[in-house]
Amino acid sequence: MESSESGSHRKPNRSRLALGLVWLLIGLYVLGFGTLSILKHEAFQTYAADLGNMDQPIWNTLHGRFLEETKNDGSQGPRLTDHFEPIFALVSLSFLIYDDVKAILILQTVAIALGALPVFWLARDELESDGAGLVFAAVYLLFPALQAANLTEFHAVPLAVAPLLFAFHYTKERDRPKAWLFAVLAMSTKEEITLLVFMLGLYTLLVHKERLMGGLLALVSLAWFGIATFVVIPHFSTAAETIYTQRYTSLGGNFKGIVLTLLTKPWVAVGLLLNGPRLAYLVGLLASVGFLSLLDPPTLLLSAPIYLANALSDYPLMYSGELHYSAPVVPFFVVSAIYGAKRLVGWLEKFVVTTSVVPKAAKAATTNTFRTLVLLWLLLCSLGYQRLRGFTPLGPNFSVPRITPHHRLFRRFAAQIPPDAVLSTTPPLFPHLTHRRVIYLFPVVPDDTEYVLLDVAGVTDIHPNDFHRAYRELVEGGGFGILDSADGYILLQRGLVGPSELPDSFYDFARVEAPAPDYPLTIDFGDSLRLLGFDLVDDWKWQRVRVRLYWQVLGEMDRDYRFYLAFLGDGGQVLADTVRQPMTVPIWYPTGRWRQGEVVVTETLLMVGLGDSFTLGLGVFEGEYWEEGKRLPARIVESPYAVRFLEDPTWVRLLSFRRERGRLRPVSE
């Protein structure tokens, strides 16, 4: 009797412990990914697109201007021209607690993490094990595509993940009020999410045999999609058709063409789905849950509308698994894996029972053994794929953004801009300043603009020459004066009368006190310039490259030189160079202003399309073009690498690089 009572007490205790551990995992996830999201923002790794473009209409909604935003052309209008996201009205309430853009970054993280709860409940109930619920909750939080969405600034679709899971759970439990609540929440995130709810309605109708609930859910969601897509958005948009159909040029490039291709030439779609990168996309989603989703096709098919929209796109980012696009399919890959695990355990158990004599008393132990093996397989696959593509410290995508003195200096300039002032600014500063009704993305500076804040050292959306020219036009007849400037920042105010020249402190962004190049060497160009070395910054994921050059000024600089850094292919052809894609520093801080003794860092733009190997060639010249300019003679003083001249002693071959296992490495000679 005591043993029976003791066992009955242990089970609730185990359940409470498992649920407590799930909450612990949720807390750790929120702490980790919330911190990373905020650090990315503070390190200027969020931009006008998309954090700023989301934050401004949400903030405007709180202040009585429903989804109002500043358009790229400088006009004001509702965000409804592109998407239907009524959930932003609820999201805007977060600013009542914390009036900062970081509030929605935290909210997004919490919303994603809470999806672990219905995952735990479903797995616990279907596999009759608290441990199974805990493992599946962990697998959900370890899903790389979900983590990627969390760290890709802020979007509406990740907010649909938890409501979809809750809606699935409550439809299974036949708790209709809660099921409807979460289904409506999911549909309110974005117009295409209604298609997933439509699939859930069909599933409820056909699998759960809930005719009323399933039928109504399917009808309401389909009507919602039709009204949002073909009534609301076209009403506010001036375009004849949404620009997003242009991402499907292989299928027709417009809505009518896409539908006709899918109906009359389905093999075109099949060919796209079997394409290497698109197939790898599917394999990655399946690998995240140990391929168990394949054992429950009906539930996996619930993800079809969004999965196909991603995989059939001609926009590679949609099927990269790296941004926010994959977030809505995660719930159904996880849920189908739960049912797949249940089926696999049942099959294994049935196989053993039919092929051997298993005592009745040992049947429970056999079930536990198979369930443990399946969960172990799932956990190993999840951790393995996290190691390959994840964003935790286990994965290759994990990095902690570094907040520099330059980033912290921004607060000085932001504090000088009145909160209700009309402002134009650059992409990385944009989301830090969007809690205002009107904000423009530089170089858009309409007549009502009162302030312009630039960060020359940051990312811009325009050519460096055009950026500098637009600035000069503002201070040389555009009615703006320099209110403050330092370390690459320039704050302009309309109507301000004052100096039109930038102070010396502005150029600090180009100077470095203690240079430590990754590839140190010593090469003199002429009598006044010495190259101390360079860094190769490899954005291996997207195969983009930047080169950072460290220059020491040996003597007085009396003229403006240009730097010619060429990326050469294996055949000597120029793949990219700094004439067509000039470096920012020499435009703003020409060599004629450089001071003797200082070290100046010049950096290329992000270079793409370089292939798997290239050679760096460097020269210094006067004039417009390298081929016709007056070149400075070069002298190789010291180098641990096989540095040599290319054509003559004016053009130096620095190093060759080759991409091996995804990473660029120097080629030894």
What residue ranges do the domains of the chain occupy?
A: 2-389, 405-506, 511-666
Query: Nearest to residue 126, comparing CAs of 333, 332, 338?
Result: 338
Place 8 in a pLDDT band, splitting at 50, 70 and 90: low
Place 74 in a pLDDT band, splitting at 50, 70 and 90: confident
Distance, in Å, from the CA atom of 474 to the CA atom of 501, rounded to the nearest integer, reads 12
Distance, in Å, from the CA atom of 312 to the CA atom of 306, rounded to the nearest integer, reads 10
Write the pLDDT tens digit of every residue in 278-304. 999 999 999 999 999 999 999 999 999
Confidence at residue 1, expressed as pLDDT on a 0 to 100 scale: 43
Q: Inform me whether the pLDDT recorded for 420 exceeds 90.
A: yes
Q: Are 284 and 319 in contact (CB under 8 A)?
A: no
Q: Over range 530-541, report the average pLDDT.
A: 92
Q: For tokens 């079809």, what's the residue?
A: 304
Q: Over range 247-271, report the average pLDDT.
A: 89
Residue type, 511: R
Write the pLDDT tens digit of every residue in 361-394. 566 778 888 999 999 999 999 999 999 999 999 9
Ranking 3-17, 235-249, 325-339 by mean pLDDT, the lowest is 3-17
Q: Which two tokens stand for residue 534?
A: 């360079």
Q: Inform me whether the pLDDT recorded for 10 exceeds 80.
A: no
Ranking 159-168, 181-190, 483-492, 658-667 by mean pLDDT, the lowest is 658-667
Question: Across the strands, what pairs with 659?
Answer: 664
Query: Nearest to residue 299, comparing CAs of 268, 333, 326, 324?
Result: 333
Distance, in Å, from the CA atom of 234 to the CA atom of 240, rounded to the nearest integer, reads 8
Q: Inform me whether the pLDDT recorded for 396 exceeds 50.
A: yes
**What 3-state class would DSSP assign to 329?**
helix
Query: Class assignment of domain 511-666?
Result: mainly beta
Q: Inform me whether the pLDDT recorded for 132 exceeds 70.
A: yes
Could you write out the DSSP letters of every residue in 77-127? EEGGGT---TTHHHHTTHHHH--STHHHHHHHHHHHHTTHHHHHHHHHHHH
Q: Over range 605-632, report the average pLDDT.
A: 91
Confidence at residue 2, expressed as pLDDT on a 0 to 100 scale: 46
**What 3-state class would DSSP assign to 234?**
helix
Write the pLDDT tens digit of every residue in 101-112. 999 999 999 999
Write the pLDDT tens digit of every residue in 35-57. 999 999 999 999 998 899 999 99
161-172 and 102-113 are packed helices; what angle lies between their axes, rounded to 10 degrees?
A: 30
Write the pLDDT tens digit of every residue in 205-233. 999 999 999 999 999 999 999 999 999 99
Distance, in Å, from the CA atom of 490 to the CA atom of 10, rounded to the nearest integer, reads 66
Place 13 in a pLDDT band, splitting at 50, 70 and 90: confident
